[in-house]
Amino acid sequence: MKQKNSMTRREFLRYSALGSSAALLVACAPAAPAAEDASSEAAPAEAPAEAPAAEMSGPKQGGAMTWMGHQEVAGLGPGDTGPTVHWAMIINIHNPLVAVDEFNEMEKVLAQSFDVSADGLTYTFKLHEGVMFHDGTELTANDVAYTYDYYRNPDNGAPIVGAFTGVGSVEATDKYTVQVNMDEVNAASLVSWATTPIVHGAYHADVGEDTYRTAPIGTGPYKLKEWRPAEFTELVAFDDHFRGRPHIDVLRQDVVPEPSVRMIALQTGETDSAVWPLLVEDSLFLESEPSFVVFRTLANSIKHFPLNNSLPQLSEKQVRQAMMHALDRQRIIDDLWNGAAQVSHSNLTPASPYHHTDLKQYDFDPQEAMALLDGAGWAVGDDGVREKDGQKLSFTITTITGDQARRPIAELAQLMFRDVGIDVQLEEAPVATILQGMREGTMDASLYNWTYGSAIEPDPFSALHSTGGNNFAQFNSSRMDELIENGLQVVPFEERKPFYDEIQEIFVEEQPVLNLQFDEWMNVFNSRIKGLPENPKNSSMYQQAYKWWIEE
């Protein structure tokens, strides 16, 4: 079936629900990085701010636009797209075949059209002809096949390998046609592997992944000029971009860990947007200022403490359940997040049609927390810290260096845990160090936002499957793995939902992570940036930067 330029979520749902069209997923997909989604994601405001109407004179050329992120940009390859600030740069350097836009609609990008077989086992993409890479060579089907084959190969260790679940082979059937043959149906295909940014195959093969992440060559509207991971990433307009040259000449993202400094930079006009949100009270203040546009969207990701379940002191579910009862999550929201969030009772946002509404919940109950710990054999020692078999109930939470917004949550949680006999130490480290440590199981715990299934695609393979590239909890459940694998092979919503109901039930029973809240996401723009969307449904608008222009 030949696709339109844009498919609405309703059309997508209807198409995927057809029994004979088992190829398409029931809902679209995470539009932003599955990560610290802005990634991550508190119901949306009743009336989000609308971008000012475009001037009659039309877009203007030139100028430089500066964004700010809260952490270093550790790499610029497709495997680095998890953190929001990484994704915002990567998606402007590269293009995928298809994407989910800021309105939760499917958008064809490098793909001029695509067809899906009735059995859901063959995907055929026709590419736009004449699409150029930044070095002047033309994109072909071989580049797509190379990209998919590289990042789906477990031996290459890419964090996004789980996105390619079910893919059997990838063929370039002619210069502009790619055929993906599935070994089994993957209902999330169009929003998992099909949204992977495409690399320059010959160049990547020549320099290798480690070098490519530092010097990428894509087809995106901007090309890399300079990259200093802990300082800034600067891109310049690509004159030969296939959708037209961007209006703005320079796109730069500065690394500014302190939200107070990001706030000052916005107020003084030194920067145009905060890719990673400000403190909630600052965003609310700027929302009332005419010189700013503030978008509020519902987060997909959970603000959470990922825990290393392989550690003896964190390996028992009773301990993790006790910690959930020890946390006054509503107080955290009210006192530290200005009320702009809601308590998380699942790995899926309440905006998801797959959200399970009848799940076990963890009210703030220190007495219940202590009873669970007593029952599990963790006795209070002379120093007030519980221990069992010579093991102290003690661990370290490592927060992101300079993260002034979330660090107070860890500090308050430290006090709450102490009240029930759990000792928590706090440290800081760069986000790249934290993500690597949590993935490898060499770090105890951390605090950040991450997506475990979104409003438009419930699949949590990457984060909850035992082989998932972002299984920060080192969680290993054969039943969870089975449900995740089987859930990807079913398309109709009514048949698919029971898998994700049970996934959520296991999640809240086992509590591999301590889920805190779903944030109301607020993205701030200087009003001199024109061409912004009106009433976006998610925060992935940064992939549309090539359409924007500057008007002083």
pLDDT per residue as tens digits for the range 412-458? 999 999 999 999 999 999 999 999 999 999 999 999 999 999 888 99
Quick check: 279 pLDDT over 50? yes
What average pLDDT does range 15-31 have in this prediction?
Answer: 30
Instruction: Look at strands 250-255 and 64-69 and give their pairing.
Output: parallel
The pLDDT, as a whole number, for residue 116 is 96
| Cα distance between residue 288 and residue 509, in whole Å | 42
Quick check: 30 pLDDT over 70? no
Quick check: 525 pLDDT over 70? yes
What average pLDDT does range 176-197 have in this prediction?
Answer: 96
- pLDDT band of 57, cuts 50, 70, 90: low
Ranges 207-216, 298-307, 359-368, 435-444: which has the least confidence: 298-307
Supply angle C-alpha 484, 489, 490, rounded to 5: 105
Q: How many helices (H) and strands (E) does the chain have?
A: 15, 25
Ranges 147-156, 191-200, 297-306: which has the least confidence: 297-306
What average pLDDT does range 212-237 have in this prediction?
Answer: 98
- Say how many C-beta atoms besides its own lie within 10 A of residue 211's C-beta: 13
Asked whether the beta carbons of 281 and 258 are under 8 A apart, the reply is no
| Cα distance between residue 534 and residue 241, in whole Å | 25
- pLDDT band of 43, cuts 50, 70, 90: very low
Quick check: 24 pLDDT over 70? no
Quick check: 47 pLDDT over 90? no
Which residue carries 């308590």 as its tokens? 343
Quick check: 130 pLDDT over 90? yes
Which residue carries 């990634």 as its tokens? 39
Quick check: 35 pLDDT over 50? no
Quick check: 19 pLDDT over 70? no
Quick check: 341 pLDDT over 60? yes
What average pLDDT does range 137-146 have in this prediction?
Answer: 98
The pLDDT, as a whole number, for residue 297 is 86
The pLDDT, as a whole number, for residue 277 is 87
| Cα distance between residue 145 and residue 152, in whole Å | 11
- pLDDT band of 82, cuts 50, 70, 90: confident
Residue 104 CA neighbour count, 13 Å, CB half = 24
- pLDDT band of 300, cuts 50, 70, 90: confident
- Amino acid of residue 433: T
Mean residue pLDDT of the chain comes to: 90
- Say how many C-beta atoms besides its own lie within 10 A of residue 460's C-beta: 27
- pLDDT band of 21, cuts 50, 70, 90: very low
Identify which has the larger pLDDT, 546 or 13.
Answer: 546
Token pair of 56 as six digits:
């009659």
Which residue carries 């992977």 as its tokens? 196
Whether pTM > 0.85 for this model: the answer is no
Quick check: 26 pLDDT over 70? no
| Cα distance between residue 86 and residue 37, in whole Å | 11
| Cα distance between residue 40 and residue 22, in whole Å | 29
Distances (CA, A) of 290 to 46, 287, 353, 522, 528: 19, 8, 36, 16, 11
Quick check: 346 pLDDT over 60? yes
In the chain, % of residues over pLDDT 70:
90
Domain ranges of the chain: 302-520
Which residue carries 């964004």 as its tokens? 67
What average pLDDT does range 64-84 have in this prediction?
Answer: 95
Token pair of 511 as six digits:
């509590």
- Mapped onto helix, strand or coil, the DSSP state of residue 527 is coil
Quick check: 10 pLDDT over 80? no
| Best CATH choice for the domain 302-520 from the list 3.20.20.70, 3.30.565.10, 3.10.105.10, 3.40.720.10 | 3.10.105.10
The pLDDT, as a whole number, for residue 521 is 87
- pLDDT band of 11, cuts 50, 70, 90: very low
What average pLDDT does range 517-538 have in this prediction?
Answer: 94
What average pLDDT does range 511-523 have in this prediction?
Answer: 95
Helix (H) or strand (E) segment spanning residue 464 = helix 461-464
Distances (CA, A) of 18 to 3, 22, 491, 494: 16, 7, 8, 11
- pLDDT band of 15, cuts 50, 70, 90: very low
Asked whether the beta carbons of 517 and 362 are under 8 A apart, the reply is no
CA-based torsion, 331, 334, 335, 340: positive or negative? positive
Instruction: Look at strands 386-388 and 445-446 and give their pairing.
Output: unpaired
Phi, psi of 107 (to 5 degrees): -130, 130
The pLDDT, as a whole number, for residue 226 is 98
Phi, psi of 90 (to 5 degrees): -60, -40
What average pLDDT does range 194-209 have in this prediction?
Answer: 98
- pLDDT band of 515, cuts 50, 70, 90: very high
